[in-house]
């Protein structure tokens, strides 16, 4: 289909919520898990936190962790790079 890619080419999807935040935290979590995307990160501006979803099995992410402002976390090894993400930067954007 136009503008569609095979799910297996993606190691991680990162999204920032907007007015449709319920989609990013509901149907999209399920859809990406069903597609087998190893890591899904949502900068949830509505709830002022970041959701990290990993280990997609059986159509759901077996691990979902919430990260609060002032913290950071490393992306899981499945992504293939060593990277630390700042919750504040994901929520606020680039303020430099």
Structure confidence at residue 2 (pLDDT): 67
In tens digits, the chain (96 residues) has pLDDT values of 567 777 777 899 999 988 888 777 888 889 999 999 999 999 999 999 999 999 999 999 999 999 999 999 999 998 999 999 999 999 998 765
Tokens of 30: 């399920």
pLDDT, residue 95, reads 64
Q: What pLDDT is recorded for position 75?
A: 93
Alpha-carbon gap, residue 11 to 85, rounded angstroms: 16
Task: Tell which residue, 74, 71, 65, 79, has the closest CA to residue 13.
Answer: 79
Q: Look at residue 28 in the predicted model and tell me its pLDDT.
A: 87
| Six token digits for residue 20 | 């449709």
What does the angle CA 51 – CA 46 – CA 92 come to, to the nearest 5 degrees?
Answer: 75
> How far apart are the C-alpha atoms of 49 and 25, rounded to whole Å?
12
Q: Which residues contact 60 (CB under 8 A, 6 or more apart)?
A: 30, 33
């Amino acid at each position: 289909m136009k503008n569609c890619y095979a799910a297996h080419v993606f190691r991680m999807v990162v999204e920032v919520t907007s007015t449709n935040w319920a989609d990013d935290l509901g149907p999209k979590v399920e859809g990406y898990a069903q597609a087998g995307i190893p890591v899904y990160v949502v900068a949830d501006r509505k709830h002022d936190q970041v959701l990290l979803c990993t280990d997609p099995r059986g159509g759901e992410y077996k691990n979902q962790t919430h990260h609060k402002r002032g913290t950071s976390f490393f992306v899981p090894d499945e992504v293939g790079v060593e990277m630390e993400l700042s919750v504040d930067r994901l929520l606020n954007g680039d303020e430099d």
